[in-house]
């Protein structure tokens, strides 16, 4: 009896993610582009990886974008 509500919960979450994932992906891509533009307007860098790792908003946006894409691709 417990399996059915758990499966229903998973289906509901996947349906919500599937419907909203394109909008979330576009928003995260916008944040990534805005942050990179802001960083490049300050100056150039020799070590891009260190720059990305030192910017929490950029790093979390990249991770979120990857996660949204993985989840939406797994749903298909």
Per-residue model confidence (pLDDT) at position 16: 74
First and final CA of the chain: distance in angstroms? Answer: 27
Return all residues near 24 (Cβ < 8 A) that are at least 6 apart: 64, 68
CA torsion sign for 9, 10, 13, 15 is negative
Per-residue model confidence (pLDDT) at position 22: 82
Helix 56-75 vs helix 3-42: angle between axes, to the nearest 10 degrees? 140
Per-residue model confidence (pLDDT) at position 1: 43
pLDDT interval class at 2 (50, 70, 90):
low
Q: Per the confidence metrics, is the pTM higher than 0.75?
A: no
């Amino acid at each position: 009896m417990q399996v059915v509500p758990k499966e229903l919960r998973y289906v509901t979450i996947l349906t919500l993610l599937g419907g909203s994932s394109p909008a979330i992906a576009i928003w995260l891509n916008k944040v990534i582009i805005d942050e990179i533009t802001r960083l490049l307007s300050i100056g150039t860098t020799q070590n891009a990886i260190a720059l990305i790792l030192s910017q929490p908003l950029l790093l979390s946006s990249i991770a979120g974008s990857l996660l949204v894409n993985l989840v939406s691709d797994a749903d298909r």
